[in-house]
Chains A and B, each alone.
Chain A
């Protein structure tokens, strides 16, 4: 890790950097949530930083703090071999509105990492193209890695669908939990039928 990176970001974004430290050699910047994406874009494109890999993205819940959540990203530069940890404090005390910009346009890895973060901690990534749950299922209630989610909580059973003449139909909705569904498929058949006639 290199301290020069911290100076570089501080010089270019004096208002965005709220804190910085290098505890145990891990260089860390705490950013204002509003400039999250802007700073990331700068770090990715600037030849001095050249962060071409988003190694990890997660969030930490501090129930006693306000803002309550810390979104933590670890960036890495393959060419220069340096790392940087970025943090942004977001969310109110009750955890209703926890929002930050998505990084999916910068790194493809952000897609699943942000989905996981949303699933586990309920951080909403604004502008994410496909913010679905990933490790749990669509009917899951709550966000399990929040500190106020009791570990022994039991999830409600997902009901079978009501279909005439069929006993048990899996509880999927029309789209069966995927980013594209049967609806387009069905419409396709109808279109073909009308064309044939």
Chain B
């Protein structure tokens, strides 16, 4: 028999090699989100790849130009559908910046609590799905259970689990319910215990660590140049968080840390998200303490807030005001504004152009996901085919936000 350790280079036989072209997606079981990745493989190594998005494009920005400013809220819900409340608040803040109004304190705290809960649901989904894609199904179920609890709060507050359409220019659709604080405290406590359990289950798992550590690495310079923001940028060691760098609402008054990674691999992105959930819990606790139980939620400005129902039905002024706001829409002053908040995936920007009529001239949403997905090509080129799934999962591409 020939020796097994025969030198392959010395062999005379030269097999023809050809790169293999492989399509993954747009509907692939291991991909959450509709994205198509065309890869040119040499063996198992990805030599070249082309990431194609747009399969969930619904013409969001075009639709916004056809209604009133308030009618944009249901659309932004459907952008990042894992944390719709952050989009609602982001859009409301952009309109308020253009109008030059500030909502009452109680509303600001309320928005922060709901926003941080939404961030938790976003991170729970991403980390849970990452674990599931690597075969760990239990943490996924636990985390989805936690997300379900967050959505129960949302359902109690807004009436809808997923697409709340709860934000309004100048306030919220409804004040907090009676049991809101109690309910939130209980849920946050429970989610923290879930995170602890997940950590114990995963961080001692050799397979999980081997699949994530030093995989999907991107340098901080590349990440900045690609316009990455949010947990993916912070995993590269850049401590940029809109809540800290440019505080909005009451973020300047609460105490929280910005967790950063160092290795900028998939594992760091996973850990940054876990750490951020703990910070969100800290923020929620402080907000709950400082939010007043009574007081106005909506700004006292008849230009933007609908009158009370008794007035609408019993006085001519109320009827007219209601009619004008509903039929003509809010009259945002002519001009342009760029307003940015920290969404689930990073800087969520709204560039609004108003011509002074009741209809938006242009609503540009700056989707953090879109730019992060743009970097996927750089992240996976040169990697093994099997590493695409965890690397892609750690970027948390949300189809609705990426493709709009």
Contact = CB atoms under 8 A, between A and B. Distances in A.
Interface of A: 23-24, 26, 28, 52-56, 58, 60-61, 72, 74, 78, 81, 83, 85, 107-109, 111-113, 116, 120, 133-137, 144-145, 149, 151, 176-180, 182, 185, 188-189, 192-193, 195-196
B282 interface: no
Given A151-B62, A189-B16, A109 B54 contact: no
Contacts of A56: 338, 349, 351, 364, 366
B370 A112 contact: yes
A23 B336 contact: yes
A189 B18 CA distance: 6
Contacts of B17: 192
A135 B57 contact: yes
Chain B, interface SS category: mixed
B227 A55 contact: yes
Given A56-B366, A58-B364, A178-B50, A145 B16 contact: no
A190 to B, nearest CB: 10
B321 to A, nearest CB: 26
A113 B224 CA distance: 15
B97 A145 contact: no
Contacts of B337: 23-24, 26
How large, as a class, is the contact surface on chain B?
A: 35 or more
Contacts of B50: 178-180
B18 A188 contact: yes
A137 B52 CA distance: 10
Contacts of B57: 135-136
Contacts of A72: 351, 364
A84 B374 CA distance: 23
A49 B59 CA distance: 35
Given A23-B336, A55-B349, A109-B374, A137 B16 contact: no
Contact of B222 (A61, A108, A135, A188): A108
Contact of B54 (A53, A107, A135, A182): A135
A52 B225 contact: yes
A184 to B, nearest CB: 8
Contacts of B404: 135
Contacts of A185: 18-19, 21, 40
Contacts of B338: 26, 56, 74, 83, 85
B16 A24 contact: no
B225 A134 contact: no
25 contacts: A24-B97, A28-B336, A52-B224, A55-B347, A55-B349, A56-B364, A81-B246, A108-B225, A108-B226, A108-B378, A109-B227, A111-B374, A113-B371, A116-B370, A134-B52, A134-B54, A135-B404, A144-B62, A151-B66, A179-B50, A180-B40, A188-B19, A189-B16, A189-B18, A193-B16
A52 B347 CA distance: 15
A109 B336 contact: no
A74 B365 CA distance: 12
B362 interface: yes
A15 to B, nearest CB: 24
Closest 8 CB pairs of A and B: A109-B227, A192-B16, A112-B374, A135-B54, A56-B366, A178-B50, A108-B225, A135-B57
A48 B366 CA distance: 26
B14 to A, nearest CB: 8
B225 A78 contact: no
B161 interface: no
Contacts of B366: 55-56, 74
B335 interface: yes
A142 to B, nearest CB: 12
Contacts of B226: 107-109
Contact of B362 (A55, A60, A137, A195): A60
Contacts of B40: 180, 185
Contact of B336 (A26, A113, A196): A26
B63 interface: yes
Nearest to B220: A78
A60 B18 contact: no
Contact of A78 (B63, B238, B353, B374): B238
B224 A145 contact: no
Contacts of B362: 60-61
